[in-house]
């Protein structure tokens, strides 16, 4: 088995169609067309730089419409980790592997999110993985929650209620999204439902003894990252507390972090500490 696959070996059973194109390897869940193989190969030809390490956008190949995300691995350490399937010092995988793993887990647990169609990587130099690619379904006719709220500001209460429901559903199934913001919630422009969550890079998969503290961060972050423009803090709090009462959240632990996370920037290291240790 290719070493890069050791960290995501559960993916192999769903992505059995492997294709090698020069120094690029691609894994698909269905046999790809020649047009699709050509398109994904050409995706890697786009110029990259330190300021443009990540590239994302629609990838069209005949009737196939996908969304592609690629990342250039700059450092030797990151290339070695991804090539050998190793974790970082804090126990996580690099972005490309994390997002693949988390998106697969979300799909398997019934969380509304874009389906993965395939993924790939390209080796250069000493045979180390230098660039990765993730292919998901293209959410045609969808817009992110921020844009949707700008078009429908009077429906902000409906949005918050359904976003909190999606968040709780995801948490209950062991998918803790730590970038849960309006920008990462997608809505059908015509029907609004069902909401879908995207950008699964910064998630934790599995249980935590600090679910109340984690929820406090997530709901605080959701407000801080854009919702404050559309709803008063008091009205938002009312909707959040209604949800916590319904779900029997331990309020002393929740309130210890909720206000802080609404008003202060919480970095990724601190988010990890909340999930693993219950504090900042």
pLDDT tens string 209-248: 999 999 999 999 999 999 999 999 999 999 999 999 999 9
Between 31 and 3, residue with greater pLDDT = 31
Q: Average pLDDT of 81-102?
A: 85
Q: Could you tell me the pTM of the whole model?
A: 0.90
How does DSSP classify residue 95? H
Q: Average pLDDT of 165-170?
A: 97
Opening angle at CA 62, ends 145 and 58, nearest 5: 25
pLDDT for residue 32: 94
Q: Which pLDDT band holds residue 11 (cuts at 50, 70, 90)?
A: low
Helix or strand or coil: residue 141? coil
Strand 116-124, strand 185-188: pairing: unpaired
């Amino acid at each position: 088995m290719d070493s890069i696959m050791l960290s995501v070996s559960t993916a192999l059973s769903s992505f059995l169609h492997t294709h090698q194109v020069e120094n690029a390897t691609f894994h698909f869940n269905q046999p790809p067309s020649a047009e699709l193989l050509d398109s994904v190969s050409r995706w890697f030809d786009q110029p990259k730089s330190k300021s443009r390490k990540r590239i994302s956008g629609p990838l069209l190949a005949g009737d196939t419409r996908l969304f592609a995300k690629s990342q250039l691995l700059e450092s030797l350490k990151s290339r070695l980790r991804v090539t050998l399937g190793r974790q970082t010092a804090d126990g996580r995988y690099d972005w490309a592997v994390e997002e693949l793993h988390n998106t697969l887990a979300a799909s398997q647990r019934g969380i509304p999110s874009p389906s993965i169609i395939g993924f790939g990587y390209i080796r250069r130099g000493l045979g180390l993985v230098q660039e990765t690619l993730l292919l998901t379904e293209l959410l045609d006719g969808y817009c992110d929650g921020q844009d949707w709220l700008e078009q429908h500001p009077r429906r902000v209460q409906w949005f918050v209620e359904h976003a909190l429901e999606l968040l709780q559903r995801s948490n209950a199934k062991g998918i803790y999204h730590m970038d849960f913001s309006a920008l990462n919630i997608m809505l059908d422009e015509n029907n609004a439902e069902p909401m879908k969550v995207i950008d699964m890079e910064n998630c934790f998969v599995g249980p935590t003894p600090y679910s109340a503290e984690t929820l406090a961060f997530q709901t605080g972050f959701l407000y801080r990252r854009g919702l404050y423009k559309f709803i008063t803090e008091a009205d938002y709090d009312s909707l959040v507390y209604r949800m916590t009462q319904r779900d029997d959240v331990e309020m002393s632990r929740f309130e210890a972090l909720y206000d802080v996370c609404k008003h202060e920037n919480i970095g990724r290291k601190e988010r990890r500490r909340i999930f693993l240790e219950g504090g900042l």
